[in-house]
Amino acid sequence: MSNVLSVDSVLGAQLLEPAALAATRAAAIAAVSQVGRGDPLAADAAATEAMRGALSHAPGRGTVVIGEGEKDEAPMLANGEAVGNGAGPRFEIAVDPLECTKACAAGLPGSLATIAFAEPGTLWSPGPAFYMDKLVVGAAAREAIDVTASPEDNAAEVAYALGKEPGEVRVTVLDKPRHTDLIARLRAFGASVAAPADGDVGGALAALLPDGGVDLLMGIGGTPEGVMTACAVRALGGGMQGRLAPQRPAESDALRDVGVDVERVLELEDLAAGESLFVATGVTDGPFVRGPRRAGEGWLTESLVVSRGTVRRVLETSF
């Protein structure tokens, strides 16, 4: 078999899709033991180790281009880490074994185990960049966004593209202190703002999916989540722009030291330049997938698979 990804034989159900599902399912089932126990790091560690174990059996050789956790000193699959059994193609990985760790620890909805696989050399490697300002929309509004424009202008352009009045636009912005002014401006403009405490990837999915109920994701979130989101956006023909937004002096210094231009507008092609596969499995119940349920001696999990213009929900029982 070639070491260069073939979309039909590798990213599809024949090879890597089962590996991606196995990884997110393992992470979700492991994290269930920590739901509602008040320890985000323990939940993250359980999900990360289970996912690492599952990925060791993935066909071929995968390289983690961007992992989650370093910015929070949390357990993580590290950037540059190699996974897989070596018998097959090479591929790249963007991963967050447990999105919304705090929600998981608090027993709240919306926690996910997430991963994206992509062709070699196609995922953006952000180096020491932890935070990114993002805009994400579905296919109908993909030409309407501009990360350098004002929040009001973006909301207005998205409304126009969707044939809506400005007051009908629904925007997801994470409820963080850094977004206090952004949320106030959007509401003053007339937009409806959903402001979850966490859930960068989930918020993007809400903007991407036809039944998501959101028109636009806006604001600063994690860079790993941004690259994973880009894989889903590309697969569904949506629109995305980003720009680095360092939140700490150490992050700014590190980016300056390696010569990264934080003013550069990152287009979708910069973040995910080739075919990709995105998978999310529910850890706690959420708007798209439910968390694991006991099924006899095993578990019933619910996952979302995004690939090649399609979205599928996968129910799977393991014993």
Check residue 210 and give its pLDDT.
87
Identify the bridge partners of residue 310 per DSSP, sorted by sequence position: 307
Which one is predicted more confidently, 134 or 211?
134
Q: What is the pLDDT of residue 1?
A: 36
SS (H, E, C) 161-184: HHCCCHHHCEEECCCCHHHHHHHH
Compute the average pLDDT of residues 213-219: 97
pLDDT at site 127? 83
Give the pLDDT mean for 218-242: 94
State the chain's mean pLDDT as an integer: 91
Give the fold, CATH level 3, of 131-271: D-Maltodextrin-Binding Protein; domain 2 (3.40.190)
Rounded to the nearest 5°, which phi and psi values hold at 272?
Answer: -145, 100
- Predicted pLDDT at 68: 61
Residue that wins the pLDDT comparison between 176 and 80: 176
What is the second-level CATH architecture of the domain 7-120+275-318? Answer: 2-Layer Sandwich (3.30)
Give the integer Cα–Cα distance in Å for 108 and 113: 15
State the pLDDT confidence band at 13, using cuts at 50, 70 and 90: very low
- Listed by start position, the domains of the chain span 7-120+275-318, 131-271
Please give the residue that has the higher pLDDT: either 50 or 224. Answer: 50
How far apart CA 157 and CA 233 sit, in angstroms, is: 19
| Predicted local distance difference test score (pLDDT) of residue 4 | 43
132-179: pLDDT as tens digits:
999 999 999 999 999 999 999 999 999 999 999 999 999 999 999 999
Say what the pLDDT of residue 173 is. Answer: 98
Q: Write down the pLDDT at residue 89.
A: 86
Per-residue model confidence (pLDDT) at position 5: 44
Quick one: pLDDT band at residue 80, thresholds 50, 70, 90?
confident
In the structure, what pLDDT confidence band is assigned to residue 73 with cuts at 50, 70 and 90? low
**Residue 198: what pLDDT?**
92
Contact 25, 47 (CB under 8 A): no
The confidence score (pLDDT) of residue 74 equals 52
Rounded average pLDDT over 108-129: 93
Q: Which residue has the higher pLDDT, 66 or 277?
A: 277
**252, pLDDT greater than 50:** yes
Q: Residue 71: pLDDT band by 50, 70, 90 thresholds?
A: low
Mean pLDDT of 90-96: 93
Q: What is the mean pLDDT of residues 187-208?
A: 95
User: What is the rounded average pLDDT of the residues 210-233?
Assistant: 94
